Structure 1
Amino acid sequence: MDALAGLLEGPRARGAFMIRACFDPPWAVRIEDRAPLTVMLMVRGEAVVLPDAGEPVRLRPGDLAIARGPDPYTCADDPGTAPQALILPGAECSYPDGRSLNGSMDLGVRTWGDRLDGGTVVLIGTYLMEGEISNRLLDALPPLLSLTTDVWKCPLTPLLMEEIVRDEPGQEVVLDRMLDLLVIAALRAWFSRPEAKAPAWYAALADPVVGRVLRLMQDDPAHPWTVASLAAKAGVSRAALARRFSELVGEPVMTYLTGWRLALAADRLREGNATLEAIARQVGYGSAFALSSAFKRGYGVSPQEFRLRVGPT
């Protein structure tokens, strides 16, 4: 599992909110849904994304923006346009004064706005839940980033435009996977940019020694890894691996492995009803007690308390 796969491996898009928004200027929508990640792909017209803190981002046809929640922001044709709609958690929609707007701007299957042939068309995909594995990468993203057509091309746009309005069996699954592909493609492009500050462990994947060790731990967390066994796999001494890993990743080998295992455990707790004993075996702990002790040290609550707090997804 590489870094980008790790972003979506835990809670990959499942029933993600996807919509085609069609507007005529002037228009503005205030987003307060607290979603962990939202992707906006401009198809026609122009828009500006206005975070409450930070610089606005202007989008033109072919450009893409990613907003990392839970901070609110506004999308509009112009910074001076007052919001006409408010998007709340659970895909609820209201007028700014609180009156319900649900249904009144529907234009067909996954289409919303003023009119189908509006001057502005933007495809929006929103992940509705957050996974603990992805936090390592999400924390490295700015609250708002953009990719313009001079630095990336999106081959998925025509297919997304076609699929987002289809109403076929299994269509939600198709759109979920397409959203995953769109995000991965965008993040690949983003982390290749000089302005992107990739996390140390992400950059370390390119190192022939540390990258191999990271992949070994990520691919088989249940294995009883030690620094010595990982060093042998990488073809270096234990001391050389420990030094190189700390220099590139910013933390010791076993500290990283513990964090990875606990993140996996948190996702398992979030995803279903597997027993703590089963989860412990999956992520490299010898018993439910050992996992519970490590989890409480890392997360401040017991696995049972964590499961009750986040609920199943």
Structure 2
Amino acid sequence: MDALAGLLEGPRARGAFMIRACFEPPWSLRIEDRAPLTVMLMIRGESWITPDTGDPVRLRAGDLAIARGPDPYTCADDPATPPLAVILPGQECVYPDGRPMRGHMDLGVRTWGQRLDGSMTMLIGTYPVRGEVSGRLLDALPPLLTLPSDVWECPLTPMFTEEIVRDGPGQEVVLDRLLDLLVITALRTWFARPEAAPPAWYGALADPVVGRVLRLLQDDPAHPWTVASLAAKADVSRAALARRFSELVGEPPMTYLTGWRLALAADRLCDTGDTLEAIARRVGYGSAFALSSAFKRVYGISPQEHRTRAARSPGGVAS
């Protein structure tokens, strides 16, 4: 499991909210839905995205933007245009004064806005990625990133444009998987950009020695790894591996492994009904007690408290 595979292995898109937005200037939408990740792909025309803190960003046809929640932002034809609608959690749409819109802007299957022939068309997907494993990568993203069409060409745009307005059997699953592909393609492109700041371990995956060790740890966290056994797999000395791993990743191999195991455990506590003993065995701890002790030392709460908080919070994620 590499970094991006790990991102999507657990909380992949399931029933993600996707819509085609069609507008004619002047238009403006205030986004306060607190979505963990929102992908915006410009199909026609242009728009401005203005975060509450930061400069407005202009999107043209072919450009893509990813907003990392939960901070609000505004999408508009011009940063000065006042909002005509506010998008709240649960995709509830209201007028700026709080009155519900009650489908006022519905234009058809997964289509919303003012008019189908509007000069601006954008495909929007709110992506429900959450949890500790995803956070190890997504926390490195800026609140708003953009990929202009001159630095990447999305091969999925024609298929997305066609599929988003279909209403056939299994269509939600098709769109979920397309959204997975779009996100992983965009993030892979972004982290290769000079302005990106990926986590140290993400960059270390390209190293022939440390990258191999990282994949061993990610693929089989339950194995009783030691620095010596990892060094043997990488065909280097124990001292050489410890030094190189720490230099590139920023922490020793066993410290990284502990963090990875506990991140996996935290997500399984939220996403499954597995017993603590079963989770402990799956992620490499000899007993529920050992996992519980390590978990509380790192997260400050017990695994059961983490699971309870996740069950009570929106989307089933502990906060």
TM-score, normalised relative to structure 1: 0.98
Q: Which moved more, 1:99-108 or 1:239-248?
A: 99-108
Provide the C-alpha distance between the structure 1 equivalents of 2:17 and 2:300, rounded to a whole number of angstroms: 31
Per the alignment, do residues 202 and 271 of structure 1 end up closer, same or farther by CA in structure 2, a change over 3 Å counting?
A: same
Q: Is the 8 A contact 1:132 1:267 kept in 2?
A: yes
* Correspondence for 2:242: 242
Provide the C-alpha distance between the structure 1 equivalents of 2:101 and 2:272, rounded to a whole number of angstroms: 34
Q: Does 1:266 align with 2:266?
A: yes
* Correspondence for 2:112: 112
- What residue identity is the alignment partner of 2:34? R
* SS of equivalent to 1:121: strand
Q: Is the 8 A contact 1:269 1:307 kept in 2?
A: yes
* Correspondence for 1:280: 280
- What residue identity is the alignment partner of 1:186? A
* SS of equivalent to 1:145: strand
CA distances 1:154-200 after superposition (whole Å, capped 9, x unpaired): 11111001111111221111111100100111111111111111111
Q: Does 1:131 align with 2:131?
A: yes
* Correspondence for 1:185: 185
CA distances 1:212-237 after superposition (whole Å, capped 9, x unpaired): 00000000111111111111100111
Q: Is the 8 A contact 2:12 2:128 kept in 1?
A: no
* Correspondence for 1:5: 5
* Correspondence for 2:16: 16
Provide the C-alpha distance between the structure 2 equivalents of 1:223 and 1:85, rounded to a whole number of angstroms: 52
TM superposition outliers: structure 1 runs of 4+ over 6 Å = none
Q: Does 1:81 align with 2:81?
A: yes
Provide the C-alpha distance between the structure 1 equivalents of 2:202 and 2:239, rounded to a whole number of angstroms: 22
Query: How far off is 1:104 after superposition?
Result: 1.3
**Residue correspondence of structure 1 range 57-68 to structure 2 within 5 A:** 57-68=57-68
Q: Is the 8 A contact 2:11 2:128 kept in 1?
A: no
Query: How far off is 1:50 after superposition?
Result: 0.3
* SS of equivalent to 1:116: coil
- What residue identity is the alignment partner of 1:307? R
TM-score, normalised relative to structure 2: 0.96
- What residue identity is the alignment partner of 1:6? G
Provide the C-alpha distance between the structure 1 equivalents of 2:95 and 2:101, rounded to a whole number of angstroms: 6
Report percent identity of matched pairs: 80
- What residue identity is the alignment partner of 1:271? D
Provide the C-alpha distance between the structure 1 equivalents of 2:232 and 2:157, rounded to a whole number of angstroms: 45
Unaligned runs of 5+ in 2: none
Provide the C-alpha distance between the structure 1 equivalents of 2:232 and 2:129, rounded to a whole number of angstroms: 39
Provide the C-alpha distance between the structure 2 equivalents of 1:182 and 1:129, rounded to a whole number of angstroms: 14
Q: Is the 8 A contact 1:10 1:132 kept in 2?
A: no
CA distances 1:122-155 after superposition (whole Å, capped 9, x unpaired): 0001113512101111111111010011100011
Query: How far off is 1:102 after superposition?
Result: 3.5
- What residue identity is the alignment partner of 2:7? L
* SS of equivalent to 1:269: helix
* Correspondence for 2:226: 226
* SS of equivalent to 1:47: strand
Q: Is the 8 A contact 2:222 2:282 kept in 1?
A: yes
- What residue identity is the alignment partner of 1:292? S
* Correspondence for 1:296: 296
Unaligned runs of 5+ in 1: none
Provide the C-alpha distance between the structure 2 equivalents of 1:67 and 1:266, rounded to a whole number of angstroms: 24
* SS of equivalent to 2:133: coil
Q: Does 1:54 align with 2:49?
A: no
